Amino acid sequence: MSYVKVLENLKKKRIAPIYFIYGSENYFIEKVRTEIIRQVADEHRENLTMYNLEEIPIQEVIQDAETYPFFGERNLIIATNPVFLKSKPDKLTFEHDVETLANYIENPVDYSVVVIIAAYEKIDERKKISKTLKKYAEVANCDPIKEKDIQQWIHNMVEQHDITLDQSVYSIIENELSTNLQILEVELEKLALYAGQGGHITKEIAETLISPTPNSSALRLVDAVIEKNLHRAISIFKELEVMKEDPIALIGLLAFQFRTILSVKLLKQKG
């Protein structure tokens, strides 16, 4: 199940006794985790317990889940780093009793919500415990967005904010922000606040409002140098200094771009 479907169920108060969140996109993981906390333990944070399974055995987590809550209706137990789901588990000073976990997954109590977060690029699907989790738990797949889908995802986010963008603004967002979805969301919220409901964002507005990243600033520096715009080049260079970017690396980037331009020019002359 996609993380979107899990979020929809949570917002409709359809709370599952066990959640299995896996994948390497932290933005999606945090979205689901935050919504589970909001729906289950927002009024009784004393019922929320976090465990790191690199430090605590899973059997202790299950023991906690089987303990009645002191306040409210349910405990919320969140366990991260389930190394036993990896193909080659990390060596620990203790052993995880995954059979205890498997038995609980098949027969969970109704007064606890257990969330297992495996923020890994890959889990071992062949393992019995992985199959059990996927069969009985509410599963949120939080793999990164595929490159071919990122543009549609950005369009959906823009529609949710009820604003419109110049096509060039979509290009800026995709090229400069798509590698970090948390930053992308913050920047879109900023644009939406500026434009207001039904408002429109032009390229000029976007370039003014979107916070510079090292990658985008470095490319803008190259453009400024090529355009022989000294004032803009110096301004961008100072931005990069504040970001602690290595001046030698920037010189290397400029040199690479000029070598590319020269190569294109020579190839053009050769026909």
DSSP 8-state secondary structure symbol assigned to residue 49: E
Report field, pTM of the whole predicted structure over 0.75: no
Q: How far is CA 145 from CA 3, 5, 86, 87, 141, in A?
A: 11, 15, 22, 23, 11
242-255 pLDDT per residue, tens: 767 777 877 787 78
Q: Which residues pair with 118 in a beta bridge?
A: 22
pLDDT at 183: 83
70-99 pLDDT per residue, tens: 877 899 999 999 999 998 888 899 999 999
163-206 pLDDT per residue, tens: 999 998 888 888 777 777 888 888 899 999 999 999 999 989 98
Distance CA(1)–CA(152), nearest Å, equals 19
